[in-house]
Amino acid sequence: MSSATPPGACEPADGKGGEARPRSPAWLRRLIDTEEAWAQLRFAAPMVLTNMSYYGIPLVSVMFSGHLGNVRLAGATLGNSWATVTGYAFVTGMSGALETLCGQAYGAQLYRMLGLYLQSSLIMSAVVSVVIAVIWLFTEPLLLCLHQEPEVSRAAAVFIRYQIPGLFAFSFLQCLLRYLQTQSVVVPLVVCSVVPFALHVPLNHLLVNVLGLGLAGASAAISATFWFSCLMLLGYVMWSKKFGETWKGFSADAFNYVLPTIKLAAPSAVMVCLEYWAFELLVLIAGLLPNSTVSTSLIAMCSSTEAIAYMITYGFSAAVSTRVSNEIGAGNVDMAKNAVAVTLKLSVFLAFSFVLLLGFGHGLWARLFSRSEVIGSEFAAITPLVMASIVLDSAQGVLSGVARGCGWQHLAAITNLVAFYFIGMPLAILFAFKLNFYTKAIGSDHTTVSSKMNSSEVVDDCYHDFLMKDDLGIVCRVCGLVQQHIRNIFELQWKKQRNQSHTQKLQ
């Protein structure tokens, strides 16, 4: 009697005798590794919810500030952008070092190292937050130097000043989040982000409307919410039995790992900041175009649309980073490559789904931002570029996750520098001001940047090994052809990872 599972029967969800579910259709199994895909979807969905909750916290405070008048709304918006590009983006990028260190240590079963890496990252984040806090104290004069309106700059400075305590909480929060993420503990992240977000709304109402604290109250609510979320996660880590092997309490040994953490955190922060800063530069460029009000509104709409789409990509970026780092730590480079292939397919497929909705409903979407017919028609004209950018960005986000999982942040930072500032920005300026494409040039800039980043970030597993597989060939072609010297660089990196894995096995 055959031991094979008959067609239509159930199979274990994890392939190891776990909870059974219906076997996937044969055509789907030929297209994608369904077990890997299912595991990544279960990982990515909670990460998307977590990211949306944290993204919404400052947004809610800005919305409450909008009811205080136009100047305060402008100040809160400017302050939020300033806080992001000078603080939150930097500490978020730095925490990417833990995706490499903790992820690979967990895969290699060096469990105690996770706690030490977490503590060293917390120490580093505290020091960096002090430096950023000093910069934030001088927000008003710095904004005035950038020729911002005096009243708006003053309001932005107030909004920033009361977020300084929250900056420390946010930096610690990012470290804790990566620590749990690399162990595939994601459901508590949802609880510790959604609950504070739900409480953030009534807290804003209390501080802004009931107590009349205005901008200061809206900003203080952000700090309080971040600290509440941080303490929830810290308490969970310290008292949960799940982390008995990875968290042994605070140790002076953590100081020995601060320097190795910084070596990865610095390029990781640069990698993230270069991307954030590029979007802010696009808004500044839009302000210099004819009819700057319409141009700036369009770019803000495009950025918001792509930010929402990227929340989905972020979940898969976190998933592939964890899978790749865990498998490399365990010495399974081929499994890491398989995870990359599956994530690329899922991310691009979902991006296409989002793009179809945007293509058919762009008119309704535009009316959510503005009732102006001019802005609506201009957004319709630029929608195809936004759609292309979203699809390319879905692949780029996954490949950034691969870079973090492998410890290739320095290569990704160089790629971002070249793609955004040596290719994208010059082309945007050329098209916008010399060829009179205006906002279409700004939109095409991000599309061009994403395609170039995909071309240079597609690692050897996405070009050399995977191109032989028909089912992923289309994904590789969408990403663009990788130039020979770039392929050689990444091929060397994969070989280095393989050699390190073999060394770990021998030890």
Q: In degrees, to the nearest 5, what angle opens at C-alpha 316 toward C-alphas 310 and 319?
A: 145
pLDDT tens-place string over residues 124-155 = 999 999 999 999 999 999 988 887 888 888 99
Residue 475 to residue 455: CA distance in whole angstroms: 12
Encoding tokens for residue 248? 């042994």
Q: How far, in Å, CA of 58 to CA of 221, rounded? A: 9
Q: Can you tell me whether residue 11 is helix, strand or coil?
A: strand
pLDDT bin (cut points 50, 70, 90) of residue 295 is: low
Please give the residue that has the higher pLDDT: either 125 or 300. 125
* Measured distance CA(333)–CA(320) in Å, rounded: 13
- pTM (two decimals): 0.80
Q: Out of 80-89, 175-184, 428-437, which region has the weakest mean confidence (pLDDT)? A: 428-437
For 211-226, what is the HEC assignment? CCCHHHHHHHHHHHHH
Residue 489 has pLDDT above 50, yes or no: no
Return d(Cα 332, Cα 323) in angstroms, integer.
10
Q: How many CB atoms lie within 10 A of CB 433?
A: 15
- Provide mean pLDDT across the span 46-67: 89
pLDDT over 50 at 5, yes or no: no
Q: CB of 41 within 8 A of CB of 55?
A: no
Q: Furthest-apart CA pair in the chain: how many Å?
A: 83
Residues whose CB is less than 8 angstroms from the CB of residue 94 and which lie 6 or more positions away in sequence, other chains included: 121, 124, 125, 128, 171, 174, 265, 266, 268, 269
pLDDT per residue as tens digits for the range 333-372: 888 888 888 888 888 888 888 888 888 888 888 887 777 7
d(CA 382, CA 298): 9
Strand, coil or helix: what is 442? helix
